[in-house]
Amino acid sequence: MPRCFWCNDDPLYMAYHDQEWGVPLRDAQRLFELLLLEGFQAGLSWITILKKRARYREVLFGFDVQRVAQLSDAEIEDLMLDPGIIRNRLKLNAARRNAAAWLALEDPVELLWSFVGGTPKINHFQGRGEVPAVTPEAEAMSKALKKRGFTFVGPTICYAFMQASGMVMDHTTDCDRYAQLANPRLQ
């Protein structure tokens, strides 16, 4: 099956590409998880995060936003010793801070989707050179989230989040998933 240029032959990566990436996501808890994972990914490859995602789900209470917001300093210190996750104090503190900021939002799903007008933006990129790392919508999302107290939500992270959550559909035209996601009737 033809896939996007970024998907390598790792079975975990292929399954993520084929089943999750670019599929419109409106579940608040899964969006919260994805936003935190994108922050953990900063400076690393996405496959690294995918390989650690199950452990993150274990140690961050299934990404229960209430519980993540209540992480104690001692719990963060314990997490710093866990080889199953990215042991980065700034990113772990950001997860706690972002959970608290998430809880302060009236409707996080509506807010996040508002940057694309509430409906997926379908792009028609033909290859790697056309897919941007940042868009004006991602810059606006980043600015709005930072204003609300989030961290590790720069424009590049926000655009990756928008792609992964299906807010923008960036499967390239030569990818098998492009036809399925560009035409929702085929899903």
Q: Give me the active site residues, please.
A: 16, 38, 46
Per the CB < 8 A criterion, the answer to whether 23 and 170 are in contact is: no
Residues 6+ apart with CB under 8 A from 100: 69, 149
Token pair 């995060």 is at which residue? 49
Residues paired with 22 in a beta bridge: none
Q: Please give the Cα distance from 158 to 145 (Å, whole number).
A: 9
- What is the distance, to the nearest Å, from the Cα of residue 123 to the centroid of all Cα atoms in its chain? 18
